[in-house]
Structure 1
């Protein structure tokens, strides 16, 4: 029977946390449940340390009734200790809290370390397998097997070109001169099995819609290799109307597809067509500004590569391989051209050229202060939307391509150089005769003067005296003449922006023949384009400073619309401002003096300065029998705003008869269009003879 209490043993204090002993069945103790960390602390209840309790395990005790001091009573024990225990006094311990039990070890699969190690092993194994496979493919695979794999891959891939939107060509105000409109292109996949079953039948259905011969379509649909690969994409037609493309799509012809495309549209048809040019079926420029700035306008084409099914499927595989490269749109080109001035100049040039039965004709309108080309016209013109309907010679830009002897319009440079060098003055006079001879060749005047006739400088210009100009040229000398020809921009292309611009030709001093002192000053043995002559007169109008003529005002980014102004034109000094002013006044005599060669160039309300010219057009190094008749002038003469040059190749007639009337109409319109006020002063009165 278990006893419910115990007596304190002598020599120790009572421990309230010590569990009571139980005596069962005659004194045998029941096993005591212990925690892992409690055994070491509770092994010796009598105060001995853990080491001693391990050496001498405590004997079990039995519980008895409590003893009194007089009659102590020992509790019965099963066995007595072999030796008395000495229990040293120990200080009372502080009560300790029972420690927490350590949780059971988690399952092996829940161990994070084991999971990390397992994942690392699996990843390394995967990389090893991939590496081994790559080695096998690159080393162990034979060239034939590799080629077979590449061929299988290529057969599954189809490539479709994505044309880049081409930039527009605009006039100075932003009006469209040429742009691209939405269209479609039609292409064929020659590797389509169903197509190859009936190529002639498919071609017959497409021929009337695409307006292409059936035989040509059949040829395009045949299987063909290029660089060892079977082509899966070939254009059948480009620039197809959207409505026509929709009809083709509705027919669902095997291997025939359509895609977004564009077509070049020229709203003005022949307006500035010789300048703008045109593009080919591949949307690349072939002539004019379209060709010169093709890289800027065209942009970068895109591409779509995708995986297609085999056999009769021949269509993109949903979820299959696909690579898409977006097209980068081209930039737009803003010109200095004013479409209103361009239209009127073309109209006047066409009318005068028809009237005078000219073979070719050209006209240029320059802003004297900036060098901007406001109009540049050619005769004959053509419809840039249908360039194939015109001969190549009908599509040239006359002002930059046709080279002629400038004739008497070159004389202004000789007078200007002589004024600049101090060899003559505006009030100087010169004694001349009806003709003179140089190098065995006679040079006569169209207004012959008796021998010993004295004439003023304005009078020599008004009558376009060959004799007087030759004599002034001899004062300059051939080196100075050549120097000033170059300063006025002759002998080199202006770089205004047109492709294939001619440079003209100058006769170097060492190449002068015996007759050159007579021919060069009056504009023969010299060749130049109309744009060169217009720019040279622009220097006279701009107080002696030459400004490079230019057609490009700015570029407009196709990506973000950012406007970038064109580079500043090159400039250089030719004459002093005072000399240029004197020369302009002298040149007014050509228009205003009685009997002057340029009277037909007068503009009501405005003072005009200019010069007539009659030379020969040069074709393949040979002069034609026609006259290259021209007039180049500026207005208002006292403060020039615009320079206009007109030239026509005619069978008969000089610059004053052929070109001067056209100049007058063009200048009148230009001045009114830009609201230039009339001249506030009248031209001076000129004397031909002192």
Structure 2
């Protein structure tokens, strides 16, 4: 192991034992004990001790520079461990460190700019270890000193600074020869290591701690604010939501209003019933359950099995409720409950009951299983009859305690029953008219028939029958066309019953007088068509107006219409209510159709006056004849007399619309002329006469119009009134038959219906006989 060099102060390249001769006095190192503090010394004024005061160097010790301060050893020795006189380090491990470093003293290191001494020390240059030369002016010299070095001296390359957590003790520098100095100068400088990077901010523990603290405080503050908000501002809403999860509801159905006849007899009403339903998820044995239910609810077994089978709802999820039967009687519902079948539900229901079954079914209509009106007056007045359902909401427990909580939330909204309707229909008269119509239509093999009974003074519909009809208690078992109200939907060419309107308008306008006569031949041409009378063998004769009505002369009626004019005829058609729905209250009422004068063709002058090219309903024609019977005043027909509130208060319906069409005198004259139809021998309507009463009316034969087209067959009709001297009722009968006129098909039906109506309402018989009419003056 090489020995540590001696500490003589001999000269060297940058030796530091003695002061160089060329060094200026002011640059010499200060003496010991000098009052000037030494830079880099721990005893100087720049580095006070713990006591707070600077401490001077002990006597006999030299100061040391920054380069010497780094000469710490791994064993904890300091630079104070020097020889008192030479100032050399007495570190016994220095030779060993020198061997580790390659057996040579460390090359001098060029100081970094930041390591340059601020004022120069000078004292380090006088050190005895030769380290001042290695430091390159770091502690004692400066650039000026280096510039004044002898020319023969070569400065060693800077020493590479080693990275170490502790200061390495540099090896003492030996004096080198010129050759060694030259070789050292040629040696490439060691690469300078970069200073270690400063760690990123987030790797700083203090920064991370501060950031985590801020985030935690922010989260806690947000949660606290939210809790306060929920507690003081949103707590009622959350309490309400929580209550909703514990509430159960039971609907209280509102009883549907009833429908009564004019005397208070029930035509349709609601009764308490039961429904039978199933939860498919709970049924264990389909076959056994269906077999047990079939005889009690009258539903086929195959249908029950299909309804009880498990299925998925359209929106997803299993179906948990399916009706098996609605409107089951209370007794049958109790029998189903007694079976205690898994998955079967029995609860309160309501059923619409129609005591008369098919009685006035076409007028009353029917409802769905949910009691919503679908047809007839049930649909027209559904909002009035239905009422408002009530409900009972109460708090229940959860799980096994799923029962009402005594003293818990409980609120009941009472159901508001629907109002009832009292119709103008008379139940007994309706039954007789409906029965008679069915019998007569069956005899005539008619396709469709209708009959209407009106009170001429009030416009009330006392009976309105249709053929065929259906059972309103089981509406789905009938055909859709059988459920139509024929009196308001049966659109026909009225035929000869229209002649009373033509003659009444001519009398009112003064176009003819009651005593006028007309020459009536076998036929007349209008446009491209011939119009003839039904009595084909007639020769041209003069005929009175009553005779024209009695024998239903087409030629005579056309002659009267020629004097009246098409504009006036059209005007009176509208005044008599043709071409406009009456508004009786039945949904789907047809309005009929009139031919305006501007659209008349040549043949229209012959067809319109006798009731062709005109579309009307039986109810419209009945209202027109009621105007003749009511001294010329047309009264709007109506079916509803009054409404009855749930508390029993009765409210009459709005008064019907009225208008004056004929003067009372002309109306009375026309009524007398119409009596000829039932009293003159051989007249077309003699079969409509009623014993003991004077009857005025008119027969007709027309065609049926369906979707604007005529259909095969003929429409026979008779419209009349009685007693003719003071009419009380008007009855119109229409029938679509394969063949036949009003005199053969509908006049007998009128006879039966009018006879019953007069006796049913106790109308006194006529005091006199009908007048004698002169047909051929």
Shared fold per TM-score greater than 0.5: yes
Q: Which residue of 1 aligns with 2:530?
A: 442
Deviation at 1:576, TM superposition (A): 0.3
Secondary structure class of the residue paired with 2:471: coil
Q: Which residue of 2 aligns with 1:612?
A: 699
Per-residue deviation, residues 482-535 of structure 1 (Å, max 9, x unmatched): 110000000011111111111111111112122111111111110111000000
Cα distance in structure 1, aligned partners of 2:298 and 2:400: 28
Q: Which residue of 2 aligns with 1:627?
A: 714
Secondary structure class of the residue paired with 1:327: coil
Q: Which residue of 2 aligns with 1:166?
A: 256
Would the alpha carbon gap of residues 258 and 579 (structure 1) be closer, same or farther in structure 2, given more than 3 Å must change?
A: same
1:641 matches 2:641: no
Task: Please show how residues 259-298 of structure 1 align to structure 2 within 5 Å.
Answer: 259-298=347-386
Does the 8 Å CA contact 1:160/1:233 hold for their aligned counterparts?
no
Cα distance in structure 1, aligned partners of 2:307 and 2:289: 6
Q: Which residue of 1 aligns with 2:475?
A: 387
Deviation at 1:431, TM superposition (A): 1.4
1:243 matches 2:331: yes
Cα distance in structure 2, aligned partners of 1:527 and 1:572: 22
Q: Which residue of 1 aligns with 2:769?
A: 682
Does the 8 Å CA contact 1:364/1:531 hold for their aligned counterparts?
yes
Does the 8 Å CA contact 1:160/1:304 hold for their aligned counterparts?
yes
Secondary structure class of the residue paired with 1:471: helix
Does the 8 Å CA contact 1:278/1:286 hold for their aligned counterparts?
yes
Q: 260, 265, 273: which is aligned to 1:183?
A: 273
Deviation at 1:609, TM superposition (A): 0.6
Q: Which residue of 1 aligns with 2:655?
A: 568
Q: Which residue of 2 aligns with 1:66?
A: none
Unaligned runs of 5+ in 1: 1-127, 140-145
Cα distance in structure 2, aligned partners of 1:504 and 1:131: 70
Does the 8 Å CA contact 2:716/2:734 hold for their aligned counterparts?
yes
Would the alpha carbon gap of residues 199 and 308 (structure 1) be closer, same or farther in structure 2, given more than 3 Å must change?
A: farther
Cα distance in structure 2, aligned partners of 1:237 and 1:305: 26
Per-residue deviation, residues 199-238 of structure 1 (Å, max 9, x unmatched): 858964774244452344335x767486x99998765532
Cα distance in structure 2, aligned partners of 1:158 and 1:218: 26
Per-residue deviation, residues 467-495 of structure 1 (Å, max 9, x unmatched): 11112112221111111000000001111
Deviation at 1:667, TM superposition (A): 0.8
Deviation at 1:132, TM superposition (A): 4.4
Moved more, 298-307 or 206-215: 206-215
Cα distance in structure 2, aligned partners of 1:575 and 1:248: 66
Does the 8 Å CA contact 2:547/2:775 hold for their aligned counterparts?
yes
Q: 346, 352, 355: which is aligned to 2:440?
A: 352
Does the 8 Å CA contact 1:202/1:253 hold for their aligned counterparts?
no
Q: 531, 547, 550: which is aligned to 1:462?
A: 550
1:399 matches 2:487: yes
Does the 8 Å CA contact 2:438/2:468 hold for their aligned counterparts?
yes
Cα distance in structure 2, aligned partners of 1:631 and 1:185: 48
What do you get for the CA RMSD once the two structures are aligned? 2.8
Task: Please show how residues 285-364 of structure 1 align to structure 2 within 5 Å.
Answer: 285-311=373-399, 315-364=403-452
Would the alpha carbon gap of residues 314 and 233 (structure 1) be closer, same or farther in structure 2, given more than 3 Å must change?
A: farther
Q: Which residue of 2 aligns with 1:512?
A: 600
Q: Which residue of 2 aligns with 1:98?
A: none
Equivalenced residue count is: 548
Q: Which residue of 2 aligns with 1:68?
A: none
Q: 659, 662, 669: which is aligned to 1:582?
A: 669
Secondary structure class of the residue paired with 1:475: helix
Secondary structure class of the residue paired with 2:726: coil
Cα distance in structure 2, aligned partners of 1:400 and 1:570: 18
Secondary structure class of the residue paired with 1:404: coil
Deviation at 1:161, TM superposition (A): 3.1
Cα distance in structure 2, aligned partners of 1:440 and 1:277: 47
Deviation at 1:149, TM superposition (A): 10
Q: 298, 301, 304: which is aligned to 1:214?
A: 304
Secondary structure class of the residue paired with 1:348: helix
Secondary structure class of the residue paired with 1:506: coil
Does the 8 Å CA contact 2:470/2:478 hold for their aligned counterparts?
yes
Q: Which residue of 2 aligns with 1:114?
A: none
Q: 487, 500, 515: which is aligned to 2:588?
A: 500
Unaligned runs of 5+ in 2: 1-225
Deviation at 1:198, TM superposition (A): 4.0
Does the 8 Å CA contact 2:278/2:308 hold for their aligned counterparts?
no
Q: 666, 669, 687: which is aligned to 2:753?
A: 666
Secondary structure class of the residue paired with 1:167: coil
Deviation at 1:249, TM superposition (A): 3.1
Moved more, 293-302 or 236-245: 236-245
Secondary structure class of the residue paired with 1:443: strand
Q: Which residue of 2 aligns with 1:72?
A: none
Does the 8 Å CA contact 1:365/1:643 hold for their aligned counterparts?
yes
Would the alpha carbon gap of residues 518 and 225 (structure 1) be closer, same or farther in structure 2, given more than 3 Å must change?
A: closer
TM-score, structure 1 as length reference: 0.74
Task: Please show how residues 544-563 of structure 1 align to structure 2 within 5 Å.
Answer: 544-558=632-646, 560-563=647-650
Moved more, 256-265 or 359-368: 256-265
Rg bigger for which structure? 2
Cα distance in structure 1, aligned partners of 2:392 and 2:278: 15
Secondary structure class of the residue paired with 1:546: strand
Deviation at 1:350, TM superposition (A): 1.3
Secondary structure class of the residue paired with 2:572: helix
Would the alpha carbon gap of residues 675 and 594 (structure 1) be closer, same or farther in structure 2, given more than 3 Å must change?
A: same
Secondary structure class of the residue paired with 1:403: coil
Does the 8 Å CA contact 2:372/2:386 hold for their aligned counterparts?
yes
Secondary structure class of the residue paired with 2:542: strand
Deviation at 1:248, TM superposition (A): 3.3
